[in-house]
Amino acid sequence: MDRRDLSMAIVQQLKGINTDAGQFVAGLLSDDISREDQIVFALRLVRLAEHIKQRADSTAGMVIEGGVVDDGGSGQPGLSAGAVEPADHPGPAVDG
């Protein structure tokens, strides 16, 4: 499975899990979800986690060019792809 196929598999799995999560939570809270349904949902989460880990491991050693830029005054730095002028950010807050 190439990187794009793996990414698409992750997206599809997340979509399916998100669709079924409400019903799963309701079953947990009402205590009427079967053992089998709990195991199936858990295995879906495990498969998703394995695919995410596989994708993350495949990025080991990759270098992504980017920088931090001033986002216009919200106080939160923004990320940018490619070279940009360095932003002048204040130092960390100090309790006084």
Q: Provide the number of structural domains found in the chain.
A: 1
Domain that holds residue 23: 3-58
Residue 89 counted as domain residue: no
The pTM of this model reads 0.60
Residue 54, both tokens: 């596989």
Residue 49 counted as domain residue: yes
Residue 41 counted as domain residue: yes
Residue 85 counted as domain residue: no
58 vs 67: CA distance, rounded Å:
23
Residue 84 counted as domain residue: no
Residue 11 counted as domain residue: yes
Residue 69 counted as domain residue: no
| Per-residue confidence in pLDDT tens, the chain, 96 aa | 788 999 999 999 999 999 999 999 999 999 999 999 999 999 999 999 999 999 999 876 666 667 766 666 666 666 665 554 555 555 555 554
Tokens 């793996």 identify what position?
A: 6
Residue 64 counted as domain residue: no
